[in-house]
Amino acid sequence: MPIVKRKGPSESIQKGKLKKKCTEATTVSNYTTKRSLLELLPYEILVEVFLLSKNANLPVCSKILWHRLSYNSSRNFKLSIQFTLMFNRKSVILATQHALARRYFRLTTLKTIDDLAARGFIQLNSRETIIDGKIVHQSFKGFIPRRILLLPESVDFIRNLKLRGFFIKESTLSHALLLSLKRGNHTTIERVCTIVSQDLCEDKPTCDEGFIFQNSFDYCILKDSPTLIQYIYKCWNESLRARLPRQTADAFLANLLEHAVKQKAKKTTTWFIQKGIIPNLNTLLMLQGR
């Protein structure tokens, strides 16, 4: 007679737990594959919801919405135009001002809007007109956000916007310089420095050099990086030093050297001294170890 081994209580409990886990996993899997009501909407209705919401983050809520509302798709490029115009239905320039802060808005988007307006597909208000193929508002002065300065096509983009009456704030120049340094991409740093130099020379005859460049100099000193500081020094030298009184410029550089010595940034201190910056009395005493 064969011997039948009976199941112990612990073995039965373990099998029960395993069965429960398998059931829960199947339930979760079925739940995750189920689409939401928003994802099941017809494309035309989904587009209307997206445009009326004015929420540029809606496509990133799920992979399905991203696929259907993707800005990168050539099929949906016109959707980015419609979304831009929804910010302000009475003025294309005011709608453009809102859209400039959005990541999807690029120079190609702006040029497409100009082309559609020139061909009569987009209606302009009484204060807007087309000059040299560009939509211009008679009285509106818009500002250029920081993200535009960091784009690969930033130089052409900013030149295009300035022809429409847009300008760059001093705080935007300061933040863009600092952010480019933190990213560490030398191509981006050179491009932003070029933009800052051109803007200060052309549009800002009087400005606060400490406000624009101080944070960037402080960051380079903190990192003790002569490689980074040479970009900022060159930008400052080309844009402001020539129009500042010599005493003011020398005092500003002397304070930077003193700050580098206090932070014990040896490489940056050596770089400043090699540039011929004259230290003040406090800096000399610190260098002598007193």
User: Whose CA is closest to 35, among 9, 58, 63?
Assistant: 63
Query: For the whole prediction, is pTM greater than 0.85?
Result: no
Note whether 135 and 124 are within 8 A (CB): yes
Q: Are 103 and 145 in contact (CB under 8 A)?
A: no
**H-helix or E-strand spanning residue 128:** strand 128-131
Mean pLDDT check: name the lowest of 92-96, 199-203, 272-276.
199-203
143: which strand partners?
A: 167
> Any long-range contacts for 26-33 (C-beta under 8 Å, 24+ apart)?
none
The domain limits of the chain are 41-138, 141-290
Instruction: Quote the pLDDT of residue 114.
Output: 94
- Condensed to tens digits (0 to 9), the pLDDT of residues 55-111 reads 877 887 888 887 877 655 555 678 888 889 989 989 999 999 999 998 889 999 999
Q: How many helices (H) and strands (E) does the chain have?
A: 15, 2
Phi and psi at residue 139, to the nearest 5°: -125, -10
pLDDT, tens digit, for every residue of 101-114? Answer: 988 899 999 999 99
- Strand, coil or helix: what is 130? strand
